[in-house]
A = this chain, B = another copy of it.
Amino acid sequence: MRRLRVTARSFHYDVVVGQGAWRALRRLPPYSSVFVLTERKLWNRWGKAFVRQSGLTSGPPLFVPAGEQSKSLPMVEDVASRLLKQGADRRTLLVAFGGGVVGDLGGFVASTYMRGIDCVQVPTTVVAQVDSAIGGKTGVNVGTMKNLVGTFYPPRLVLADPIVLGSLGWRTFRSGLYEVVKHAILDGPGFFHLLEARIGSLRPGQGAALESILARAAQVKVEVVSRDEREAGLRRVLNLGHTFGHALEEATAYRRFLHGEAVGWGLLAVTRLAELLGVLKPAEAGQIARMVRQVGPLPPIRDLAASRVLALLPQDKKAVGGRIHWVLPQRIGKVKIVNDVPLQLAATALREVQRGPDPSVRG
């Protein structure tokens, strides 16, 4: 079990990764009440174990439907009403037990309920454990705009036990690995080569074998957000692969890809773009592309018109004043942010990746 610490100017909190992480809840100070926000299926599978390990005395959990549509302001209103009805006050603790949807929604509710109550994130997917549950970004969607309304709000604790990944579907699990790959590219050769050696054999059920990989990936996020709590600059490196990724998700109305899969394609495209720009050496570009492809098959993108995908790029809200900030790998362990990439070159990179080797073929 690893205990990592996010330290920012005005707050700090621990991220505990590993088997038995949930026990860390026992060391929190007392609250007037505790509520768990979660999804029914997930809670049916893991709720008992969580309650036993965490020692929590809480009322019945607050269930929200699985899926992105729960990240909405009407759902915020609904959850806040239920909290109020059940007596939650300013000293209540909200535990967000779930993947990205529950984490983003729960974090937002906690950050705004009575102007802010404590929140513990208990991420249950790979993406949430190594990325989204760490860093205090919360949000809900408005219309088709992801996270248009949200907050920066540090959780009190993040508790990531890989045991819960055992009930993930194979595709969902793999989808999270693309974010792990992203973190390895950001981190450097040490983690990258460790991951390279293991990526092909990682499986949802392997609690212990996964633990060191997940902890290391989480550490990358912890370090970045510790240095940039409000996404003023450095934190943008975490968007590696996300610029193309978001555009691909939008181009397919968020129906074709799991988020991580879009990031997988995004990593391939931006790696090729960096190579075309002469920013990244072909050898390292090849290493990155091989690693991404090793994760497994990705939904097809050949049918998508590159021009249409490109047109969706500036709608990324990370783009300030219409510019696109590209996060380009410069070498393994180093990225570079530029905002003057010719769109034509981005189109070329995307088209080459679209025509390239089918990533469903390993190695």
A61 touches B (CB below 8 Å): no
Residues of A in contact (CB 8 Å), total 37
In whole Å, how far is A164's beta carbon from the nearest beta carbon of chain B?
A: 27
Chain B residues whose C-beta falls within 8 Å of the C-beta of A70 in the assembled complex: none
Of all chain B residues, the one with the shortest Cβ separation from A77 is B73
Identical chains in the assembly: 2
B115–A145 CB distance below 8 A: no
Interface residues of A in 70-102 (CB under 8 A from B): 73-74, 76-77, 80-81, 84, 89-91
Across the interface, A80 reaches (CB within 8 A) one of B149, B152, B321, namely B149
B320–A89 CB distance below 8 A: yes
Of all chain B residues, the one with the shortest Cβ separation from A115 is B150
Of all chain B residues, the one with the shortest Cβ separation from A145 is B84
B151–A81 CB distance below 8 A: no
Most chain B beta-carbon neighbours within 10 Å: one of A74, A84, A139, A319: A84
Given A9-B10, A32-B320, A115-B138; 9 other pairs, CB 8 A cutoff? A73-B73, A77-B142, A77-B149, A80-B148, A81-B142, A89-B319, A112-B149, A114-B150, A115-B231
What are 22 of the A-B contact pairs (CB < 8 Å)? A9-B10, A32-B321, A73-B73, A80-B142, A80-B148, A81-B143, A84-B145, A89-B317, A89-B319, A89-B320, A89-B321, A90-B317, A91-B320, A111-B151, A112-B149, A112-B150, A113-B148, A114-B150, A115-B137, A115-B139, A115-B231, A116-B152
